[in-house]
Amino acid sequence: MKRAVRFAAPLVVLLLWTAARADLIGADRSELLSKLIPTVVNISVRKDEPKPPSGASGMVAAPDARTIKGYVGSGFVIDPSGVIVTNYHVLEYAFEITVMFSDGSRLPGKMLSASRLADLAIIKVEADHPLPAAHWGDSDALQVGDEVFAAGNPFGVGLSVSAGIVSGLNRDIQNSPYDDLIQTDAAINHGNSGGPLFDMQGNVIGVNSTIISPTAGSAGIAFAIPSDSARFVVDQLRTYGWVRPGWIGVKLQAVTREIADAMGMARPEGAILSWVMPNGPARRAGLEIGDVILRYDGMTPSDERALLRSIAETPVANTINLTVRHDGHQRSVPITVEAWPRDQWDARDAPTLVQRPHIVIPPDLGLGLAMLSAEDKAKLGMDNGLTGVLVDSVAPDSDPAHRGMVSGDVILRVQDTPVDTPDEVRSDVDAVRGRQRHFVLMLILPKVRDAPGPKWIALQLDDPGG
């Protein structure tokens, strides 16, 4: 009995200390989260997505056949002026972006630039005050087992936080040739895309982007773009409007055990050149197909993906040294990095978006509107300075539909005012509402004309008072 008493006191002290420390950690974590939550946003978009193939024949839908739907994602503020980072796939095909903040306020967003390959995009909102901004962390310092937490809008239920650990690093899930993803078991679901993965100091060390799951929900295998890679892409997009990666004009592949054996190498290492572009930096430096790059500027890349990332992130015009295996011998090759040719990069990375600004006048008119391109105006014979706004969609059973309006009509005037943008149409309609009118007058150039020239149509306003 005395022996039990002798050990009981230290055990009680240990338990009390552990409980107090847990309370302290919990309080610290709650305080940290309260500061970070305002930097995280929910993003809702309206999209025009191409319809998938249907029917046994597998025929693809017509190019202009689109399915309009809503999509919810996440993002985080990186600049108090209103610059927000999210995943590109959240905004793909979007024609309307709405950003909601933790206090419930909403602002329209505009996509500034994006990289399809990196799955990153930048949104800008115009706020009347500086916004709380998150800070980038150092993803290279991460280790497996480090605690992290994810913030975002899973399934559109609202801003949520989940905790976990770093489960793996440098994951390649075949999303791109540059994959270097952080794996985490923090619960990440659909809607978390584009949200931040924070470390325990409150720094963004990843951008949540992908899950692997046999169901629609989290299975504990989620992936984030490392902050070091994301920051490079975001900085390039903000500076140049595209990634502008470094380029030496080669195609690389991993040296496998079989390739190494065939080349007489003691072990697989480096990346072998399967193609050297004519007139590119590598060709001018004397590199040839079959050469193996072993080191890049003194560093030994872990694999060909790491080598590709190193080349892409090298500042343009920098001269670096490659250690190259050629015909069984090593040599040092100086090479000056150039910018990837813009047209070639855009062919693989340019965003797939609805190019024309598109708005829907709610709630009663049911008209989807878009800007007229120069090509549209030429086809319509409007290249003489005439202005107008394209009717991109007409809601079924709406008053415009009942009055014969169709997609392809052009609105020339609202009341007696010429219009040139969807926002001008909306503003002029709102002005008519403000005058307590029950109808708004529009001058329409019909797509299908029973007589030459435009015609006036009076559309009913269900709620003239707004």
Active site residues: 89, 119, 193
* Nearest Cα residue to 359 out of 289, 261, 435, 429: 429
Residue found by looking up tokens 């195609």 in the block: 251
Q: What is the CA radius of gyration of the chain?
A: 28
- CA 411 distance to own-chain centroid: 33
Which backbone phi and psi does 410 adopt, to 5 degrees?
-125, 130
How many whole angstroms separate alpha carbon 133 and alpha carbon 212? 30
At position 388, the amino acid (one-letter code) is G
Task: Give the Cβ contact number of residue 416 at 10 Å.
Answer: 8
The partner residues of 114 in beta bridges, in order of sequence, read 121
Question: SS3 string of the chain?
Answer: CHHHHHHHHHHHHHHHHHHHHHHHHHHHHHHHHHHHHHHEEEEEEEEEEECCCCCCCCCCCCCCCEEEEEEEEEEEEEECCCEEEECHHHHCCEEEEEEECCCCCEEEEEEEEEECCCCEEEEEECCCCCCCCCCECCHHHCCCCCEEEEEECHHHCCCEEEEEEEEEEEECCCCCCCCCEEEECCCCCCCCCCCEEEECCCCEEEEEEEECCCCCCCCCCEEEEEHHHHHHHHHHHHHHCCCCCEECCEEEEECCHHHHHHCCCCCCCCEEEEEECCCCHHHHCCCCCCCEEEEECCECCCCHHHHHHHHHHCCCCCEEEEEEEECCEEEEEEEECEECCHHHHHHHHCCCCCCCCEEEECCCCCEEEECCCHHHHHHCCCCCCCCCEEEEEECCCCHHHHCCCCCCCEEEEECCEECCCHHHHHHHHHHHHHCCCCEEEEEEECCCCCCCCCEEEEEECCCCCC
How many whole angstroms separate alpha carbon 343 and alpha carbon 278? 16
Rounded to the nearest 10°, the torsion over CA 254, 257, 263, 265 is 100
